[in-house]
Structure 1
């Protein structure tokens, strides 16, 4: 559930539900997806949550891919254990784990900005946690938070039972002496409540690895409280970090909460925080917050121009030029001499039989040409701004779309016709792509981001991103449908109405007409799949504040396909509303998506 689906679609509905129900719905849904074959890959595809290598750190003997983790308060039932690692979290907190049999109360969303917790909040029981951890093989560090009210015997039992599954413990100051006898090597962090004085105690204890600083707590005068996630909390915690550092520079500092925007995490990191646990701010800002924080903290090399990008540039330019040439032919002769030779009819003879046959073939070939031009533009942009700087997501998008485009050659012969010019085009194009692939295959740079705030332009961009995701997905689906039709029935009902004929009549006139038409349809479908993937992957992985080239790519890349696709229908008189409705729908998505995305991609925060 990336931010582009969370905010426009799910958040309003989820916030109207009971906190328990909405929380469990999210975690169970994502867990179900991650457990199906290819599910984890789908989650990664939609969000591209991979953590930048330069954020990896080793803290007290534990390896963390980034300093960002998630609070156990947000998942007391441990439903999302298998999911959090796929959303950019480097570590997971569990608990507070208890041996008490008291049933806790779920948090309440009392207004748009605060998540209220009850004094007697939800805590998972030891037996339940142990059963879960035995069953699930977690590949992320786990911090176990022990019930602050646990007695000495309970602390010992919790530690001895769960020590094999966790990387560190979080305890209260009073529980330190009890944990010595049962733990000698697992890092221990002491939780400091905000109600304590600003003067931090000197934790000169042999088993203390660091402290967990909690945000300020505000009570409603009864049994409920909320943890500040606004600026006051962030400033408070930065001061507490300084206080701890003044006493002991070597203590590891972990913060809980106090983060609602990426720049909040940057403030804490700059103040001296080693690890940061997201809490209620994560609920309001959305599941993309860890990724945004990681990218804000990532530093891209100033000058690191990769090799091979010029081959990618040539690859895109060849497709662009080929598309222009194909467009010229589709607007003039339509069919070439080798087409006439295969069919056994000249252009004039086909017109004499049924003038709409040639017009119909022109409409397929013109839309293919427009799609090729659009694809060529996007390939060029990805090479100039992505491959050139070794950006992993751009390289992955480039090669995924290109390889699928090459595989489409097998569809061309699905109905019995493969023209030699297509074969030559592919053979000419292949060396350029192979050189590009070979020289860019090691591009692994993740992208840094300047996005610091949950600005109005960022929120609008999520709508634009959602619309472009729908656009790219629709193009891919349309390409699959057209390719399938091209290798099976060839025509849809509106095609036959326009042609004023039936497949049987065409077959009786000339048994090679339909294979040529099918070949055009399959080729057009393949081109749509490739270009649709380019649009989709660029949208999913490239939307970042101030990335003007992403907006420019989408703005100039789509019109050739739309103009050629719609224009040819009106030129030949094939104007069936039902037939053109998908194209109209895509144009509307495109225009609105550009409008909503422009402030964020072009101008940044406002």
Structure 2
């Protein structure tokens, strides 16, 4: 659904950050594959998710099985406790629907078409004739290949692959196929366990596939080999690649493990390529984060001392002492917004520093994207300061100081193009808990972004919520009677805090989405330490001024709960021992 809306595919690509590294691209039978990992037609026979799959790290997509006309009986897969059960009368795609999909979808990866094993020779010829303009290869059974594929009767403008199950792939079949002049390669299906009208992959599928692949490659090292199924972990995917597989299709394992499996296999492959360590320039990025950190401490100092500065007093028309005589709660309220802003800036500074020190320095492209996306949003947020008619000169001066630092940071970041790698290859308990911990932080990041937008919107519109008015004990009309310029000053603080919160939320979100890998302890440290100042300031300032409305603070309490649960669940995965990992891959080819 998301992929179908304008900009949806870009959103999926941004959130997943699953684009494969150029180091794992390959060319097979004159077709370029951005990744050797594809998705089987068994998972999506009707091509409903083709648009989305292209953004989830797959280098090619299989559709089918294709038939000439839609069968009367088609049974969808079901699941039991441990497996996905596919019917022996599984879903099939009529030719007309396949053409409709291929002509309407914006397809950017190679498409392989699997033709149903029961089609006749004439039907196969018709299917091939109509689909050839839209696809890159065809997959037929080994029986169809040896019986039907005669140059005189079947159009062969695309590569044809013969498929067979591991238990049927013997020397006789292999010799027959390799003697066929039109063979582009073979597809080996994982062994199946059949029970009544349903089947599922056998438990030792990966081992059987590896054994078959090694045997075939020993006899025919130049033969293109594709496997289908038998992969549920990065280690299993890498084992097949290491055994000599050219391309592999994910089936049941992709559903069981989750949509991150292709990316995890990519990182596992990259880890074994023995990358050369590459350090990128990161000093200006570090300096940018340090400047924000220092700015946060300066803002915190003013928030707990004078609260308002001389130019604030000049704009309002009242001194600090005069405001205290009118209503001391007004200054307390202003202090709470400014302390919250200061705490958020300190958190942002820590996050930027960590991204620069551990991410950009290690040539990690995702860390550069996270760093600069949040920074640009932060700069745009200065416009909110004047949204209610008041420009804070100190804020303006601060951004002017930051601007040249950021310029050089952005310039040095252009060479940060590396892809991460990981040695983690199992779906163990630490990984499973880590996934839930990651979910907590992703939710935390999203909620911080949403909260920042809401606070900014309130800051440039009605300024106060009901609990604010109850705390100040004055409606906005009375505040305007004190000074017509008082509300704009309050509004600019609120809008500025909201803008800073959006930036921090984006940092937490992107670090959580893209940085979770086993043994990456700096990610855990970044999230654990980076969020503390914002939470301490957010809750502490309310306690400090006596603004302790439960309803008002409830969103913060919920965020703290997500934060603590995320830290606990992700600790074994991020901080646990690992056999080693490379932080980055030098991608000079980009």
Unmatched segments (≥5 aa) in structure 2: 580-590
**Using the alignment, how far apart are the partners of 1:405 and 1:585 within structure 2?**
25
Question: Do structure 1's residue 75 and structure 2's residue 44 form an aligned pair?
Answer: yes
Instruction: State which of 69, 89, 100 in structure 2 corresponds to 1:120.
Output: 89
Task: Compute the displacement of 1:506 (Å).
Answer: 1.1
**Using the alignment, how far apart are the partners of 2:73 and 2:186 within structure 1?**
26
What is aligned with 1:171? 140
Question: Do structure 1's residue 46 and structure 2's residue 15 form an aligned pair?
Answer: yes
* Equivalent residues in 2 for 1:113-512, closer than 5 Å: 113-176=82-145, 178-179=148-149, 180-181=151-152, 182-196=154-168, 198-199=170-171, 201-202=174-175, 203-220=178-195, 222-228=196-202, 230=203, 232-299=204-271, 301-307=275-281, 309-512=282-485
**Using the alignment, how far apart are the partners of 1:507 and 1:119 within structure 2?**
75
Q: Secondary structure of the equivalent of 1:326? A: helix
**Using the alignment, how far apart are the partners of 2:118 and 2:452 within structure 1?**
60
Q: Secondary structure of the equivalent of 1:298? A: helix
Shift in alpha-carbon separation, 1:311–1:515, aligned structure 2, 3 A: same
**Using the alignment, how far apart are the partners of 1:402 and 1:110 within structure 2?**
46
Question: Do structure 1's residue 91 and structure 2's residue 63 form an aligned pair?
Answer: no
Note the aligned Cα RMSD (angstroms).
1.7
**Using the alignment, how far apart are the partners of 1:358 and 1:102 within structure 2?**
75
Q: Secondary structure of the equivalent of 2:390? A: coil
**8 Å Cα contact 2:441-2:566 kept in structure 1:** yes
| Deviations 1:23-59 (CA, angstroms, capped at 9, x unpaired) | xxxxxxxxx2112122112211221121111111000
**8 Å Cα contact 1:98-1:126 kept in structure 2:** yes
* Equivalent residues in 2 for 1:21-40, closer than 5 Å: 32-40=1-9
**8 Å Cα contact 2:64-2:93 kept in structure 1:** yes
Q: Secondary structure of the equivalent of 2:559? A: helix
Shift in alpha-carbon separation, 1:526–1:233, aligned structure 2, 3 A: same
What is aligned with 1:19? none
**Using the alignment, how far apart are the partners of 1:302 and 1:197 within structure 2?**
40
**Using the alignment, how far apart are the partners of 1:281 and 1:107 within structure 2?**
18
**Using the alignment, how far apart are the partners of 2:334 and 2:526 within structure 1?**
30
Task: Compute the displacement of 1:130 (Å).
Answer: 2.1
**Using the alignment, how far apart are the partners of 1:263 and 1:507 within structure 2?**
66
Task: Compute the displacement of 1:78 (Å).
Answer: 2.1
**8 Å Cα contact 1:457-1:605 kept in structure 2:** no
Q: Secondary structure of the equivalent of 1:433? A: helix
What is aligned with 2:572? 599
Q: Secondary structure of the equivalent of 1:386? A: helix
**8 Å Cα contact 1:455-1:605 kept in structure 2:** no
Unmatched segments (≥5 aa) in structure 1: 1-31
Task: Compute the displacement of 1:108 (Å).
Answer: 4.1
| Deviations 1:492-538 (CA, angstroms, capped at 9, x unpaired) | 11111111111111111122211111111111111111111111111
Shift in alpha-carbon separation, 1:131–1:37, aligned structure 2, 3 A: closer
Q: Give the alignment's TM-score, normalised by structure 1.
A: 0.91
**Using the alignment, how far apart are the partners of 1:110 and 1:578 within structure 2?**
43
Q: Secondary structure of the equivalent of 1:171? A: strand
Task: Compute the displacement of 1:107 (Å).
Answer: 4.6
Deviates more, 1:463-472 or 1:430-439: 463-472
Task: Compute the displacement of 1:106 (Å).
Answer: 2.7
Q: Secondary structure of the equivalent of 2:330? A: helix
Task: Compute the displacement of 1:164 (Å).
Answer: 1.0
Shift in alpha-carbon separation, 1:340–1:137, aligned structure 2, 3 A: closer
**8 Å Cα contact 1:296-1:452 kept in structure 2:** yes
Q: Secondary structure of the equivalent of 1:102? A: coil
Instruction: State which of 561, 564, 578 in structure 1 corresponds to 2:551.
Output: 578
Task: Compute the displacement of 1:224 (Å).
Answer: 2.5
Task: Compute the displacement of 1:110 (Å).
Answer: 4.6
Q: Secondary structure of the equivalent of 1:143? A: strand
Number of aligned residues = 571
**Using the alignment, how far apart are the partners of 2:501 and 2:100 within structure 1?**
49
**Using the alignment, how far apart are the partners of 1:604 and 1:275 within structure 2?**
32
Task: Compute the displacement of 1:64 (Å).
Answer: 0.3
